[in-house]
Chains A and B, each alone.
Chain A
């Protein structure tokens, strides 16, 4: 590992900070929404973000672990094709999932952007792995959305 250790630590610290922000966001909205299923979904998403935070802490102490995560081979871009739903205390489950996948999409875009402007190959690589990790989260949420987001209601 040739990259400056302090710089690498900073990348992971920032990533952890993003997960904490996401955790706080989901926790806050889970307390505001009225639909019990949406409440539960947001509470579960908050817990997931805590899990991501723990994972990143492990990567921070051993960055090689990050290179071993599974990155989806395909990006179906379902999130990109979906409008960001407005937050509403009466929002429906599909909108809750859509909101979450849009946040993951934003995270993917952020890390890819960071990778693109990084000149150091190792820094670039770490950001690409982080983007891949977030892509995995996005894909999982997209799969949930596909099952519930296109109702045949008439």
Chain B
């Protein structure tokens, strides 16, 4: 996030797109709700009638996979009415004349045809954004999990620069990053092309620094593979060994049947997890791991805040923290002793060779976390980025983005669009939450959300058993007839392996990030049997 979570409650206008905030980021949703209670205008842009829409001033229900057309249409209207931030464009952006020309390809009438949002609604939204002093934009995987995910994000960045909202309190461009520590994992270099704090693997000066710091030579100058490529290369022998830490790969990658083929093609597959999963079933070796309450360490949240976590329980049996296991492996594979004696020692080693974390110590975050950049021990951390209005490259560069239809659209054979996501009660592949009796009780099985219009046409009622089929597989689960889904759009999550959305999803990826298009694929729906259980609990328990 360019800004901080708490700023959201002071926002005057909040534009949420592709984020089911109340279910995926419930704590952040409290700040948004507080802002609404204080009079903020909330624009929720989502193909589903998610619960946050009940707090929204406007719910824009655009078609899945049409974000670029929609946002470019808004920008066109903003320029047309002179609502752009002229001073900001002149002082802080590189090519304002180009963006003005590019979005002319998306008059609201044309954009409306593509995204399905009425012209009047688009004009109303553009007016609110154009006349607002500052708008905060929040987005999540509804933006990134498309074959055009990178361009979706660039389009939002274009919008915020056109409006001059970068570097402003309660404004900015704010990806609400999923999972408790995905920000921290990226910061630590759990990526194929960077060391900690985004120091590039292919930068000779960076390599030299780490070789000197670690007392080694020959660090690779080539970035590694991203995960889809890593798996794909198993099929031609390019990937022979996979060491998988805390990732239920089979259940969470798209097109499960294909993922299984990739994993089966590996020569050696090691899984590290706290419970058995469908992925551990394919492992040659399974190593246990500590759960989050059994280790010390840090989590870094989406606002770049590094926070301490503490061990409250002893891990079962001989289970060791995984930094210790990796250290032992290093010793046994090539005799290299990393020499760490604690989590704090690992953090200190990382911190000293980092840039933006260099001023963060366990002592400093004993009570309250610090937000990076925090480059020195004296620095108080940075809640808000780009306050000077400038960017790393100098002035902001607008990118030309155009609408690209999803890789697989509904057709006569597979007439429904399936979109996927998360539910409040379960976390990711539910490795942890399905081992929690209370949560399993609250939401015990996956449901396919289907609109009342489509359900009536197909003779389906809530609780009926249905079969959902895509070109890649089929799942059987119960129907939930709800106006959360627009006609023609179905929705389910990937928490339940026995009825997992990823059996159906398509393995097509954004070319830059290699993020899969989890949000759109084509399916058909058939009724298998009448519901046999009372289903009155469904809406109550499914909704937060």
Name A residues whose Cβ lies closer than 8 Å to a Cβ of B.
Answer: 35-38, 41, 74-78, 80-82, 92-94, 143-144, 146-154
Contact = CB atoms under 8 A, between A and B. Distances in A.
Contacts of B197: 150
A37 B395 contact: yes
A78 B395 contact: no
Contact of A76 (B94, B378, B395): B378
B217 interface: no
A143 B198 contact: no
The 5 closest A-B pairs by CB, nearest first: A37-B394, A150-B373, A93-B394, A150-B356, A151-B392
Contact of A94 (B167, B386, B387, B392): B392
A27 to B, nearest CB: 19
Main secondary structure of the interface of A (DSSP, over half): loop
Contact of A151 (B198, B378, B382): B198
Given A74-B378, A151-B198, A143 B191 contact: no
Contacts of B186: 152, 154
Contacts of B359: 81
Given A80-B376, A81-B375, A149 B193 contact: no
A147 B391 CA distance: 7
Contacts, number: 78
B277 to A, nearest CB: 27
A144 B387 CA distance: 8
Contact of A93 (B200, B386, B393): B393
B373 A153 contact: no
Interface in B384-402: 385-388, 390-395
Contact of B376 (A77, A144, A149, A151): A77
Contacts of A37: 94, 390, 393-395
B177 to A, nearest CB: 11
Given A80-B376, A82-B375, A151-B198, A146 B390 contact: no
B323 to A, nearest CB: 22
A153 B395 CA distance: 17
**Interface size range of chain B in the complex:** 20 to 34
A146 B382 contact: yes
Contacts of B391: 93, 148
Nearest to A38: B394
A146 B356 CA distance: 9
11 contacts: A37-B395, A41-B394, A76-B380, A93-B392, A147-B388, A148-B390, A150-B197, A150-B355, A151-B392, A153-B200, A154-B194
B520 interface: no
A108 B385 CA distance: 26
Contacts of A77: 376, 378-379
A77 B94 CA distance: 31
B388 A144 contact: yes
A78 B377 CA distance: 9
Contacts of A143: 387-388
B390 A154 contact: no
Contacts of B194: 153-154
B186 to A, nearest CB: 7
B358 interface: yes
A147 B375 contact: no
A125 to B, nearest CB: 25
A94 B388 CA distance: 12
Given A146-B382, A147-B388, 19 more contacts: A37-B94, A37-B390, A37-B394, A77-B376, A77-B378, A77-B379, A80-B376, A81-B375, A81-B376, A82-B375, A143-B388, A146-B373, A148-B390, A150-B372, A151-B392, A153-B194, A153-B200, A153-B392, A154-B193
B376 A147 contact: no
A51 to B, nearest CB: 18
A149 B373 contact: yes
B376 A78 contact: yes
Contacts of A35: 394
A55 B194 CA distance: 45
Contacts of B355: 150
Contacts of A81: 358-359, 375-376
Interface string B346-359: 00000000011011
